Amino acid sequence: MYPFENYIKLILMTDSKKKKTEKPITRDMMSMDNEKLLDYIQNQKFGSIEEINDFIKSNVIGKKIDEIIPTKKENLSDREKSDELIYKAYNSNEADGIRLANEALKIDPSNVRVLNFLAEHSKKVEDAFQIYKKAVDFGKEQLGANYFIENTGHFWLMIDSRPFMTAKLGYADCLGAMGRINESIKEYQEMLVLNPGDNQGIRYILGSKLLQSKRYTEYLALHQQFDDENSAGWLYNYALCLFITGGASPKANKALQNAYKCNKHVLKIFTGKEKAKDAMPGYYSPGDVNEATDYLMGNFNLWNSYPQSFSWLFQFSATLKR
Q: Report yes or no on 313 lying in a domain.
A: yes
Q: Residues in the chain, how many?
A: 322
> Rounded distance, CA 109 to CA 240, Å?
45
Q: Report yes or no on 273 lying in a domain.
A: yes
Q: Report yes or no on 292 lying in a domain.
A: yes
Which residue blocks in the chain are alpha helix, DSSP H?
5-15, 27-42, 49-59, 65-68, 78-90, 94-107, 112-120, 125-143, 145-151, 162-177, 181-194, 202-212, 216-225, 232-246, 250-262, 264-270, 289-304, 308-319
Give phi and psi for 83, each to the nearest 5: -65, -40
C-alpha distance across the termini of the chain, in Å: 63
pLDDT at 7: 42
> Rounded distance, CA 117 to CA 246, Å?
44
* pTM of the predicted structure, to 2 decimals: 0.81
Q: Report yes or no on 77 lying in a domain.
A: no
| Range(s) of the domain holding residue 308 | 215-319
The DSSP secondary-structure symbol of 276 reads: P
Check: CB of residue 117 under 8 Å from CB of residue 88: no
Q: Report yes or no on 305 lying in a domain.
A: yes
For residue 310, give every residue at least 6 positions away whose Cβ sits within 8 Å of its Cβ, in sequence order, or none: 270, 303
Check: CB of residue 255 under 8 Å from CB of residue 235: yes
Q: Report yes or no on 242 lying in a domain.
A: yes
pLDDT at 114: 96
Q: Report yes or no on 315 lying in a domain.
A: yes
> Rounded distance, CA 128 to CA 121, Å?
8
The DSSP secondary-structure symbol of 19 reads: -
Give how many domains the chain has, as a whole number: 1
CB atoms near residue 180 (< 10 Å): 15
Mean pLDDT by 10 residues, the chain (322 residues): 41 42 52 66 69 70 63 77 89 92 96 96 95 98 96 90 94 96 97 95 96 96 94 95 96 97 93 78 80 90 92 92 61
